[in-house]
Amino acid sequence: MKVAVIALTKNGIELAGKIGRELDADLYVQNVDFLGLVEKIFYSYDALIFVMACGIVVRSIAPYIKDKQSDPAVVVVDELGRFTISLLSGHIGGANRLAVKVAAVTGGTPVITTATDINGVLAFDELATDNDCAIENIDELKYISSELVNGGKVSLFSDCRLDGTLPGNIDTPVFGQYCRFAVALTNCTMVPVTADRILYLRPRNLIIGIGCKKGKSKQEIEEAVVHFLGMNNKSLLSVKCVASISMKANEQGILDFCCEKNIPFNTFSTEEIKTIEHRFSSSNFVKNITGVGCVAEACAILAGNRPKLICPKTAYRGITLALAEEEKVITIRTYPLVKENA
């Protein structure tokens, strides 16, 4: 996490230095054009720690706040270090946990106000962040969280292995069951659950292996990938990375597609591919060009952590795709961040 600490007063600067050293953060404490600085760095850091009054922080960041999926974590600390307040992006941005860390440095009290945390309720946005899952329809989150905070029940459908114990207000539905409120934790676009309100969490555990003719455009790559995933009932949000042979490392169409979708692109040498190519069908045409008999399937396997090939190579116009899936283990954490004093 890339963190910045900002302070204005003498006492604040001293405390900011201590926090910065402990958290390995960048300091902005001398000759600061405060409002200009906030505008400049607001989206350049994962987290901002302000050592000053809440009021000035609220007014300074207000013009730049967008949404909980993109806003940085914001923590406010009084200049004596007595309180560390999680002000913005408590779950997805990590401000709640950062407030606890800062409090450990200052000897102060972390102030956490998110209802799920203070009530010890499972927070699905935090679960998603902790387990590298994308939230597909975050507008549904408020209905799920509200139901739990107000003592209701939510059904959780998951095709991932769960590590931990679900609280009593989370049940697991049977096939075809109707639920009022549900969470689907799956990379599948079709789930055997119907609900009035359903939140989709997409675990990033799919790897797309790709081979293509030189010069294929971003649009051609995207059309092939979208169709390929659609035929396999898989979500693009669950794609962890795209993988290919090293000779495609600078293939602009693939690079542009991955950049636009914010998906990592990994490549492997012919020597690496040769170690497992015997497991897949070989193409003499591909071997004459690349030196190996297969690209998409082998690269999909090489790019993952013991993944399984769930869809063999599928040919489009000059583009070949394969799909592998990692086993995903989801850690369940249901305790409050800050324990009450006995």
Q: How confident is the model at residue 341 (pLDDT cuts 50, 70, 90)?
A: very low
Query: Last residue of a domain, which of 83, 113, 143?
Result: 113
**Are residues 232 and 294 part of one domain?**
yes
Q: How many domains, in total, are found in the chain? A: 3
Instruction: Check whether 170 has a pLDDT greater than 50.
Output: yes
Q: What CATH number is associated with residue 109?
A: 3.40.50.11220
- For residue 333, the model assigns a pLDDT of 76
**Are residues 169 and 94 part of one domain?**
no
Instruction: Check whether 113 has a pLDDT greater than 90.
Output: no
**Are residues 289 and 233 part of one domain?**
yes
Instruction: Check whether 65 has a pLDDT greater than 80.
Output: yes
Identity of the highest mean pLDDT range in 118-127, 151-160, 278-287, 296-305: 296-305
- For residue 338, the model assigns a pLDDT of 55
- For residue 340, the model assigns a pLDDT of 47
Q: How confident is the model at residue 248 (pLDDT cuts 50, 70, 90)?
A: very high
Query: Is 269 within a domain?
Result: yes
pTM metric for this prediction: 0.80
**Are residues 192 and 84 part of one domain?**
no
Query: Is 241 within a domain?
Result: yes
Higher pLDDT, 9 or 264: 264
User: How would DSSP label each residue in 136-181?
Assistant: S-GGGHHHHHHHHHTT--EEEEESSEEES---TTEE-PPTT-EEEE
**Are residues 271 and 234 part of one domain?**
yes
Q: Which domain holds residue 100?
A: 3-113
Instruction: Check whether 139 has a pLDDT greater than 80.
Output: yes
Q: What is the mean pLDDT of the chain?
A: 90
**Are residues 315 and 218 part of one domain?**
yes
**Are residues 320 and 210 part of one domain?**
yes
Q: How confident is the model at residue 336 (pLDDT cuts 50, 70, 90)?
A: low
